[in-house]
Amino acid sequence: MQIQTVLTGMGGSHIRSFISSGMVAIKEREVTQADVARVIETAKAVNIPTDQQILHVLPQEFIVDGQEDVREPLGMSGVRLETRVHIVTGAVSAAQNIVKCVRRCGLEVQDLMLQPLASSMAVLTEDEKELGVVLIDIGGGTTDIAVFTGGAIRHTAVIPIAGDQITNDIAMALRTPTPDAEEIKIRHGVAKQVLADPHAKIDVPGIGERDPRTLSKQALAAVIEPRLEELFLMVQQVLRESGYEELLSSGVVLTGGTSLMPGIAELGEDIFMKPVRIGVPDYAGGLADMVRTPRFATAMGLLHEARAQHLRGRRVASQGGGLKQTVQKMKEWFLGNF
**Domain residues for 111?**
1-115+301-338
With beta carbons less than 8 A apart as the criterion, state whether 264 and 258 touch.
Answer: yes
Provide the 3-class DSSP secondary structure of residue 277.
Answer: strand
Q: Do 140 and 55 belong to one domain?
A: no
DSSP 246: G
Bridge partners of 23? 82
Provide the 3-class DSSP secondary structure of residue 308.
Answer: helix
Of 23, 33, 157, nearest to 85 (Cα)? Answer: 23
Of 41, 75, 47, 46, nearest to 59 (Cα)? Answer: 41
pLDDT in tens, the chain (338 residues): 677 888 899 988 899 999 999 999 998 889 999 999 999 999 999 999 999 999 999 999 999 999 998 999 999 999 999 999 999 999 999 999 999 999 998 899 988 999 999 999 999 999 999 999 999 999 999 999 999 999 999 999 999 999 999 999 999 999 999 999 999 999 999 999 999 998 899 999 999 888 889 999 999 999 999 999 999 999 999 999 999 999 999 999 999 999 999 999 999 999 999 999 999 988 776 666 777 889 989 989 998 888 887 777 644 343 344 555 555 554 554 445 44
pTM listed for this prediction: 0.86
Of 60, 58, 62, 55, nearest to 39 (Cα)? Answer: 62
Cα–Cα dist 12/100, whole Å: 17
199-239 pLDDT per residue, tens = 899 999 999 888 889 999 999 999 999 999 999 999 999 99
Q: How many CB atoms lie within 10 A of CB 50?
A: 7
CATH number at residue 172: 3.30.420.40
Q: Do 94 and 147 belong to one domain?
A: no
Query: In this structure, is residue 287 part of a structural domain?
Result: no
Query: In this structure, is residue 272 part of a structural domain?
Result: yes
Q: Do 195 and 80 belong to one domain?
A: no
Task: Return the pLDDT at 121.
Answer: 93
DSSP H or E run through 224:
helix 217-242
Give me the half-sphere count of Cα atoms (radius 13 Å) on the Cβ side of residue 141. 6
Q: Do 64 and 180 belong to one domain?
A: no
Q: What sign for the dihedral angle of Cα 54, 235, 19, 275?
A: positive
Q: Do 177 and 39 belong to one domain?
A: no
Cα–Cα dist 82/68, whole Å: 9
Number of domain units in the chain: 2
Cα–Cα dist 189/34, whole Å: 54
Q: Do 323 and 271 belong to one domain?
A: no
Q: Do 3 and 109 belong to one domain?
A: yes
Query: In this structure, is residue 284 part of a structural domain?
Result: no
Q: Do 147 and 267 belong to one domain?
A: yes
